[in-house]
Structure formats: structure tokens, C-alpha cells
Amino acid sequence: MFERDRFTQDCLEAIEGTDDHMAVKELVTRALSDPSAVVSALGEPSRAGPDRIYVSERLTILNLVWGPYMTLLPHNHNMWAVIGIYSGREDNIFWRRVGDPGATRIEAAGAEALSAGDVAPLGKDIVHSVTNPLDRPTGALHVYGGDFFEIARSEWDAETLHEKPYDVEKNMALFERYNAHLDAAE
């Protein structure tokens, strides 16, 4: 049985004295061994956006719901992350910087499709884009090694693939646009 508070406490204990995310990966893997238990605890995904389960300077846990066909531009987190899907699918494209050290342009370097029960650890330097390829919301547990909402990070332009500051307001508005599509479909 998945319990939000117990999961949060377990994650906090797992990172005590370390900045390694592999212990958190094991906790997310255990939680996602029964995706239906996570759905029972968090609810069937219905509204796009991040539900803040826990946020502190050392750890953020989100119930993140992607809207149907939603895509988020390439971005980084500047902290480790562990992503586990409990409903639907999340397609990730992984990107790498090209050119001189410190280059601001990226190119595709790989991809991974995550379905219910799948877990992916992301190192602090990973750049990825995310797409929900389904016509329904996708639900995921996202655990980050820091305060996801306060750290400076980057996103990359969809056309030029050049780096720019991450625009929190624009991305939160993107979730609301997808919610408007969901509302119109009801």
C-alpha cells in the first residue's frame, strides 16, 4: 500500500547524509511495483500539473500529471531526479550539449519511453524533454534532490535548440492550456 507520508519520510531518510539518488530510486521502484496502489492513494490522474507532496531545500516530491499529448521543451533540473510512472506513459528525449565546453546548443542523444511501473533516475546534469503521447493524462511520481521550485535552471528553444533561462510562469501556463483542452472535452 502506498502512503504519501510514509513515502516522504522514507525518501528523507534515504538522502540523509548523501546527495546520491540511487536509494530514492529503490523507494520509487518499490512504490511503483504496484501502480494501482499509487493510483488509489493519489487518485486517477485528471488535471495536468504538479501536486506538491513535499517541498524542502533538500527534497521535492511531486505527483506530476501530464495532459494528453502534452510536451515540455528540453530542460534541465540542476539536481538529480527520479521519475516513476504510475499511470499512462511519458516519453523522454535526452539531449547533450554540442560544441565547446559550456556550449548553449544541444542535440538529441537518446530516448526512453516509460510506462506504468517504470522508473528512471536522472543525474543532475541531464537535459531532457517530455511528451505524453496518449489521449489521456499520465501520472508520475517525480522526486528531486532539492527545491525544484527555487533552483535556477535552463530550457532550450524548440526551433533553434539554444539555451535560455527556464520560464516557470510559461511552463505552469502550459499545464493550464492542457487543462482547458480537458475541460472542453468533457
Domain ranges of the chain: 4-185
Q: How many other C-beta atoms are found inside a 10 Å radius of the C-beta of residue 116?
A: 18
First to last CA, the chain: 31
pTM for the full predicted model: 0.93
Task: Give the pLDDT confidence score for residue 104 in this predicted structure.
Answer: 83
List, for residues 68-77, the tens digit of each pLDDT value. 999 999 999 9
Q: Is 53 in contact with 133 (CB distance < 8 Å)? A: no
Task: Give the pLDDT confidence score for residue 101 in this predicted structure.
Answer: 67
Task: Give the pLDDT confidence score for residue 19 in this predicted structure.
Answer: 77
Kindly report the average pLDDT of the chain as a whole number.
94
**Distance in angstroms (rounded) separating the CA atoms of residues 153 and 35:** 30
Task: Give the pLDDT confidence score for residue 70 in this predicted structure.
Answer: 96
Reported confidence tier of residue 102, pLDDT bands at 50, 70, 90: low
The correct CATH number of 4-185 out of 1.10.260.40, 3.20.20.140, 2.60.120.10, 3.50.40.10 is 2.60.120.10
**Distance in angstroms (rounded) separating the CA atoms of residues 175 and 39:** 20
